[in-house]
Amino acid sequence: MKILVPVKRVVDYNVKVRVKSDHTGMDIANVKMSMNPFDEIAIEESVRLKEAGVATEIIAISCGVAQCQETLRTAMAIGADRGILVETDVELQPLAVAKLLKAIADREQPSLIILGKQAIDDDCNQTGQMLASLLGWPQATFASKVVVADGKVSVTREVDGGLETLSLTLPAIVTTDLRLNEPRYVTLPNIMKAKKKQLDNLKPGDLGVDVTPRVKTLKVVEPAQRSAGMIVPDVATLVAKLKNEAKVI
Ligand code: AMP
């Protein structure tokens, strides 16, 4: 069973990003970039499926600038067998990424595609759903448990008020939630081994996909500054303040 795992290069989650002075976007020049955390969970899950003898090959895919190669090398150090870079300098939006991934899925014929539930830079939470629609495959988003058996994948999802378990017929799309697993640390020997793994380089044109953005960002602004809070000594004071000062009760 072949698994595709799309991995996005994003600003590291520890970086506090700033809005550019001309309000056209975020200033990400010279900031640390890493693999989207939900994609690390997706790679880890697919490696566990391979270790359990369920999967035979894991292919990591990244779409974007040439430096996405580093993200693919990390995915291969965790355990992906090979990588595909779809290289472009165009700002990619979820629909464009979903079309690129569909074209690769048509070529590679995987049984499972595991994506992150969302990228922590754009917070779109769209690519997996769009890809499922383009391929006409079943999808289970926000997975906290994945079990593959008998041509089906059983996915436990975190939903409001509890857990829901779905059974999907393969091929299928799964998107990861935070509690699915804890990704392993990448070891130096595995980083060295990853350098020798196959990494193919494609352009969107090779896949026949037009990645021109469809959505235009008009303006990006910082959230309004919040005024400082205060600690009240007891409940009576809190109630008095809510009644007399905030006038909300
Ligand atoms: P989004 O819909 O942008 O929140 O992204 C959801 C998921 O789609 C991510 O966690 C990745 O698995 C995948 N994805 C989005 N953009 C890219 C990209 N440029 N390259 C590879 N995978 C991507």
**Closest residue by CA, ligand 1 atom 8:** 127
**Phi-psi sector, 56: left (phi>0), alpha (psi -120 to 50), beta:** alpha
- Confidence band, pLDDT 50/70/90 cuts, at residue 161: confident
Which tens digit of pLDDT belongs to each residue from 22-72? 999 999 989 999 999 999 999 999 999 999 999 999 999 999 999 999 999
pLDDT given at position 164: 96
Name all residues whose Cβ lies below 6 A of ligand 1. Answer: 6-8, 36, 38-39, 61-64, 92, 94, 97, 115-116, 118-119, 122, 124-128
Model confidence at 216, pLDDT cuts 50, 70, 90, reads very high
Give the pLDDT confidence score for residue 227 in this predicted structure: 87
Task: Compute, in angstroms, the gap from residue 118 CA to the centroid of ligand 1.
Answer: 7
Residue 178 forms beta bridges with which residues? none
% the chain with pLDDT above 90: 92
| 216 contact partners, CB below 8 Å, separation of at least 6 | none
Mean pLDDT of the chain: 96
| pLDDT of the residue at 141 | 97
Whether pLDDT at 211 is above 90:
yes
The model's pTM is 0.91
Q: How far, in Å, from the CA of 94 to the mean position of ligand 1?
A: 7
Of the residues 97, 113, 139, 174, which should be mutated to test ligand 1's pocket, given the most ligand atoms within 8 Å of the CB?
97
102, pLDDT greater than 90: yes
Distance from Cα 128 to the centre of ligand 1, integer Å: 8
Taking CA atoms only, the protein residue closest to ligand 1 atom 10 is 116
Could you identify the atom of ligand 1 that is nearest to the CA of residue 114? Answer: 12
Q: Whose CA is nearest to atom 6 of ligand 1?
A: 118
Q: How far is the CA of 152 from the centre of ligand 1 (A)?
A: 24
Mean pLDDT score, 128-139: 98
Average pLDDT, stretch 240-247? 93
- Which residue is closest in CA terms to ligand 1's atom 9? 116
- What ligand 1 atom has the least distance to the C-alpha of 176? 10
How confident is the model at residue 223, as a pLDDT?
Answer: 87
Q: Is the pLDDT of residue 81 over 90?
A: yes
Give me the percent of the chain exceeding a pLDDT of 70: 100
Domains and CATH numbers, the chain: 2-244 (3.40.50.620)
